[in-house]
Amino acid sequence: MSGHGTPIPMTSHPCGPLTGTAEVPGDKSISHRSLILGAMAVGETRISGLLEGEDVLDTAKAMRAFGAEVTDHGGGEWSVHGVGVGGFAEPDQVIDCGNSGTGVRLIMGAMATSPITATFTGDASLNKRPMARVTDPLALFGTQSVGREGGRLPMTIVGAADPVPVHYKVPVPSAQVKSAVLLAGLNAPGQTVVVEKEATRDHSERMLTGFGAEITVEDTDEGRVITLTGRPELKPQVIAVPRDPSSAAFPVCAALITPGSDVLVPGIGLNPTRAGLFTTLREMGADLTYENEREEGGEPVADLRAKYSPNMKGISVPAERAASMIDEYPVLSVVAANAAGTTMMGGVKELRVKESDRIDAMARGLRANGVTVDEGDDWWSVEGLGIGGVPGGGTCESFLDHRIAMSFMVMGMGATTPVSVDDGGPIATSFPIFEPLMAALGARVERT
């Protein structure tokens, strides 16, 4: 849905302490998977804490188009009456996944081994993103696809009528590609094997186990080897979605750079394949503590407390940590601008194919606000100006990218003068309550 609306310019003003409790919305990755796996189970899956952002709502709509009954009971409570593995109906309309790479890639995988045809599209951002990374492995199952030049949406997928299981080594660190292959493997007879060199978020593996699929994960010299047995009957689940660590990153980072702040973010998913940002911030000297660590619904969860941290230092972020914090580099670069010394971020080529080229988008906005940035194809670095050292005063383009828009709003909170973005509309894709939540903590973000 993002990218279809009128731009919403926003300005973030330097502010006093941020204090209180930040109840951020449900995890986006787990929300998409709850709806898709719920649609592939037999019977009723119940979901609480679903992220009601545009990306996930587009996936809910898509699951209805494939024949599942998806009901919004209000207050984040949803149910999905699934049609079973191989039970998808052929949609009679184009599937519009809006701004969501996760939505479109996972749904393509989920339908790829059923004898149906579907056409997918998205907004101006999604229609620029590479889809061959998914359609290449899907072709091994016998799936056909026709899209625009360079494997771009709009794209039609013709599901394999007689799918064969595959053995696939994922060539890029991508949980979306891994998950698309696993979801396709569900309706292929026999064992589908996916090998990933670098561990990416493992929600699909955990949730497939929860839904009763036969799936094993082995750490080998080659990487993580995931073996899935096809044609299971998936059993409906009761799912409590933990709060999203990628959304928590914004109030947490805002608290670190705003004098006097003390913010508690309760019930955050802290799956190690997602928690790289928090490790990095602690290495930089952030006052960040985990309280009440526990396990909920197969995922590690904790309450996170972030306090103003005036003495953070730039570090070199290990490249092998990239997958566990891939969506958090934009906001990390804002913290880096408020730390002393240089922060170096390597192994991050994937940032160039997200909702925007995130290295380019952040470099432009940081420079427009007085911060020095250097970049190469696979790395970038930010020269820290110390706490309160970012001059601000610039307007940044958000390039239809929610994380870029929110990162610059956080930057304004700790800068000397306000920071603006040309369009904060995309924030609604993943964090629809960003503005009231930040305002309740004491931030001053205005629509301008």
Ligand X SMILES: O=C(O)C1=C[C@@H](OP(=O)(O)O)[C@@H](O)[C@H](O)C1
Residues contacting residue 74 through CB under 8 Å, at least 6 positions apart: none
Q: Please give the helix or strand (H or E) that residue 42 lies within, else none.
A: strand 42-48
Q: Minimum distance from CB of 174 to ligand X (Å)? A: 3
When computed from its CA atoms, the radius of gyration of the chain, rounded to whole angstroms, is 21
The first and second tokens of residue 416, run together, are 């000397």
The first and second tokens of residue 241, run together, are 């979605």
Q: Which of the listed partners (ligand PEP, ligand X, none) does 133 bind, with a CB threshold of 5 to 8 Å by partner kind? A: none
User: What length is written for the chain?
Assistant: 448
Binding mask 387-406 for ligand PEP (x = CB under 6 A): ----------------x---
Q: Which residues are annotated as a binding site for phosphoenolpyruvate?
A: 28, 101, 129, 176, 358, 403
- Where are the strands (E) in 122-220, listed by range? 144-148, 152-158, 167-170, 191-196, 215-220
| 3-state secondary structure (DSSP) of residue 241 | coil
- Amino acid type, 322: A
Q: Which of the listed partners (ligand PEP, ligand X, none) does 403 bind, with a CB threshold of 5 to 8 Å by partner kind? A: ligand PEP
Choose the binding region for ligand PEP from 99-107, 146-154, 192-200, 434-442 (rule: CB under 6 A).
99-107
- Rounded to an integer, what distance in angstroms lies between the CA atom of residue 186 and that of residue 159? 13
- Look-up: residue for tokens 């969860």? 301
Choose the binding region for ligand X from 7-15, 173-181, 373-381, 438-446 (rule: CB under 6 A).
173-181
Q: Please give the helix or strand (H or E) that residue 171 lies within, else none.
A: none
Q: Which of the listed partners (ligand X, ligand PEP, none) does 107 bind, with a CB threshold of 5 to 8 Å by partner kind? A: none
Closest CA to 404 of 153, 21, 29, 99: 99
Q: Minimum distance from CB of 246 to ligand X (Å)? A: 7
Q: Which of the listed partners (ligand X, ligand PEP, none) does 355 bind, with a CB threshold of 5 to 8 Å by partner kind? A: ligand PEP
Q: Is 284 exposed, middle or buried (0-12, 13-18, 19+ CB in 10 A)?
A: buried
Question: Which is nearer to ligand PEP, 176 or 261 (by Cβ)?
Answer: 176
Q: Minimum distance from CB of 250 to ligand X (Å)? A: 14
The first and second tokens of residue 288, run together, are 């960040």
The first and second tokens of residue 325, run together, are 């914090």
For strand 223-229 and strand 262-269, is the pairing parallel, antiparallel, or unpaired?
unpaired
Question: Which is nearer to ligand PEP, 202 or 287 (by Cβ)?
Answer: 202
- Residue tagged active-site, from 96, 202, 287, 327: 327
The first and second tokens of residue 433, run together, are 């309550």
Q: Which of the listed partners (ligand PEP, ligand X, none) does 70 bind, with a CB threshold of 5 to 8 Å by partner kind? A: none
The first and second tokens of residue 394, run together, are 């610039």
> Which backbone phi and psi does 411 adopt, to 5 degrees?
-60, -40
Q: Is 176 in the site for ligand X (CB under 6 A)?
A: yes
- Is-contact 313 341, C-beta < 8 A? yes
Q: Is 174 in the site for ligand X (CB under 6 A)?
A: yes
- Where are the strands (E) in 347-439, listed by range? 373-375, 379-385, 395-396, 419-421
- Is-contact 7 179, C-beta < 8 A? no
Q: Is 425 in the site for ligand PEP (CB under 6 A)?
A: no
| 3-state secondary structure (DSSP) of residue 290 | strand
Q: Minimum distance from CB of 150 to ligand X (Å)? A: 16
Question: Which is nearer to ligand PEP, 258 or 271 (by Cβ)?
Answer: 271
- Amino acid type, 235: K
The first and second tokens of residue 116, run together, are 């149906």
Q: Is 31 in the site for ligand X (CB under 6 A)?
A: no
- By CB under 6 A, how many residues form the interface with ligand PEP? 8
Q: Minimum distance from CB of 129 to ligand PEP (Å)? A: 8
Q: Minimum distance from CB of 29 to ligand X (Å)? A: 3
- Rounded to an integer, what distance in angstroms lies between the CA atom of residue 336 and that of residue 342? 7
Q: Which of the listed partners (ligand X, ligand PEP, none) does 350 bind, with a CB threshold of 5 to 8 Å by partner kind? A: ligand X
Can you tell me which of 157, 268, 270, 326 binds ligand X, judged by CB under 6 A?
Answer: 326
Closest CA to 62 of 118, 112, 135: 118
Question: Which is nearer to ligand PEP, 247 or 258 (by Cβ)?
Answer: 247
Q: Which of the listed partners (ligand PEP, ligand X, none) does 309 bind, with a CB threshold of 5 to 8 Å by partner kind? A: none
Q: Is 100 in the site for ligand X (CB under 6 A)?
A: no
Q: Which residues are annotated as a binding site for 3-phosphoshikimate?
A: 28-29, 33, 174, 176, 327, 354
- Rounded to an integer, what distance in angstroms lies between the CA atom of residue 321 and that of residue 337? 20
Quick check: is 221 catalytic?
A: no
Choose the binding region for ligand PEP from 100-108, 135-143, 260-268, 335-343 (rule: CB under 6 A).
100-108
Q: Which residues are annotated as a binding site?
A: 28-29, 33, 101, 129, 174, 176, 327, 354, 358, 403
Can you tell me which of 133, 178, 201, 354 binds ligand PEP, judged by CB under 6 A?
Answer: 354
Q: Which of the listed partners (ligand PEP, ligand X, none) does 201 bind, with a CB threshold of 5 to 8 Å by partner kind? A: ligand X
Q: Active-site positions?
A: 327
What is the binding site for ligand X (CB under 6 A)? 29, 101-102, 174-176, 179, 201, 326-327, 350
What is the binding site for ligand PEP (CB under 6 A)? 100-102, 327, 354-355, 403, 430
